[in-house]
Chain A
Amino acid sequence: GQQVMQIPQYQHVQEGEDFTTYCNSSTTLSNIQWYKQRPGGHPVFLIQLVKSGEVKKQKRLTFQFGEAKKNSSLHITATQTTDVGTYFCAGVDNYGQNFVFGPGTRLSVLP
């Protein structure tokens, strides 16, 4: 079945440094979504990418969807302590039925 992988598993950065997490799917995706989960919280939707090669920005966050629609990345510029949490990508298969979540990247930001 479809598998979604993410690297790195953990990332510790100093406040102000940049951060990138990568997401790779074993199959071509209909679309990909990104979620953030704060410690002790529930996943919260950040963004959805649908088109091949699509790039979207939300303030300091930049999201990319690969040309082949099998990979994606999330880049945070100048991290802040409020960015702490686990970032999950979720690939949606071509039938649009299921979200397959990656294992997540846990970000720690040292002040």
Chain B
Amino acid sequence: NAGVTQTPKFRILKIGQSMTLQCTQDMNHNYMYWYRQDPGMGLKLIYYSVGAGITDKGEVPNGYNVSRSTTEDFPLRLELAAPSQTSVYFCASSYLQGPVNTEAFFGQGTRLTVV
């Protein structure tokens, strides 16, 4: 299994440009997440989804949008890139079994620089 696949791995954007970070998983997980990690810092939740058609904001959603049209895909959209969005972005997925969530599988990350 491929697990969680993110594209692209690296990207440089100019201020004001837009882009979509792609994330797909092949484990039939119902939960998917987007995190950002600033240098030397922890993981901050941007958005998450509990299933196709359902998304919700995390801790730092401003400047981002998501959609979940299928179980497999969870793209993250940056509409007007700003230098503050320079970060490493991780997509993750997990499966909820009753009250207990299974482990989160992370993608390799996308390193985004906004100049």
A: which residues have CB within 8 A of B?
Answer: 30-31, 33, 35, 42-45, 48, 50, 88, 90, 92, 94-104, 106
Contacts and interface: CB of A to CB of B under 8 A. Distances in A.
Nearest to B50: A97
Interface of B: 31, 33, 35, 40-43, 45, 48, 50, 58, 90, 92, 94, 96, 98-109
8 contacts: A44-B106, A48-B103, A92-B100, A95-B99, A96-B99, A97-B48, A98-B58, A100-B45
Contact of B101 (A31, A43, A44, A101): A31
Contacts, number: 60
Q: Would you call the interface of chain B mostly helix, strand, loop, or mixed?
A: strand
A90 B104 CA distance: 10
A98 B47 CA distance: 11
A30 B100 contact: yes
Contacts of A50: 100
